[in-house]
Amino acid sequence: MTEKILLSGVHDAKNILFGALEKMSTGANGGCPLEIQLAIEQASERLNKMLATYRMANGKLQPAICSVDARMLVEEAVMRCFEGYDGPVAAVINELADEEWPLDRELVQDAIINALNNAKRFAATKVVIESQATAHGLVITIADDGPGYPMAAAPETLTDETGHSGMGLILARHIAALHQRHGGKGELQTFTGGPLGGAVFQLTLP
């Protein structure tokens, strides 16, 4: 399974970079710099995720826990996911927790971006993001108005906008579980339904 994920990650990154190269060679002005920059960032994100997957598979994925601004964590993830996006789906940010929270910013933000990319791909018109500090922990919820997770298979994979399977929910679940505090452990819940009727990705960090 790990090998499959790693291979698909290389394939994704390669496709993104080739796409950028095509735009550079065929575009009227040698391709739009922003598009190319975004392509490079996306390819880099794929490669980072592969690295995280590889480390996870070898039991070497260790969280680097810092006090993180929970609002900024989500806002930045939305910004990174939707920068340069011109499609029909709008990301709507509801209430966000205005707290500091001990977590691994890079790992958690990657998991959120992954979920947002998935929601952006499958949503009809809207993706709603919110976060709350509750008695169980920091709860980050991403809901869309798409078809939801398919019933036929366990929703173990997230797919990105290229349509290929990625590091997905396995990694996100592992990242959640790496966060342990006050005897509790982070967890990820995914289901279909929620306020918009589509997929719901809910990450809870203790």
Given the rule CB under 8 A, which residues bind other proteins? 37-38, 40-41, 44, 48, 51, 62, 64-67, 69, 71-72, 75-76, 78-83, 85, 90-94, 98-100, 102, 104-106, 181
Residue among 164, 206, 161, 198 at smallest CA distance from 181: 206
Give the nearer residue to other proteins in terms of CB position, either 59 or 152. Answer: 59
Which residue bears the tokens 């205005």?
98
Q: What are phi and psi of 80, to 5 degrees?
A: -70, -35
Residue with Cβ nearer other proteins (200 or 205): 205
Q: Which is nearer to other proteins, 89 or 169 (CB)?
A: 89
Q: In angstroms, what is the minimal distance from the CB of 140 to other proteins?
A: 16
- Nearer Cβ to other proteins (23/133): 133
Cβ proximity of 114 and 174 under 8 Å: no
Nearer to other proteins, 83 or 156 (CB): 83
User: In sequence order, what are the beta bridge partners of 200?
Assistant: 143, 191
Provide the CB-side half-sphere exposure for 39 (13 A, CA): 19
Alpha carbon separation from 169 to 29, 95, 149, 172, 174 (Å, rounded): 39, 24, 12, 5, 8
CA–CA dist 195, 101 (Å, integer): 26
Least Cβ distance, residue 96 to other proteins (angstroms): 9
Minimum separation from the CB atom of position 153 to other proteins (A):
30
- CB of 48 vs other proteins, minimal distance in Å: 7
Query: Minimum distance between the CB of residue 3 and other proteins, rounded to whole angstroms?
Result: 21
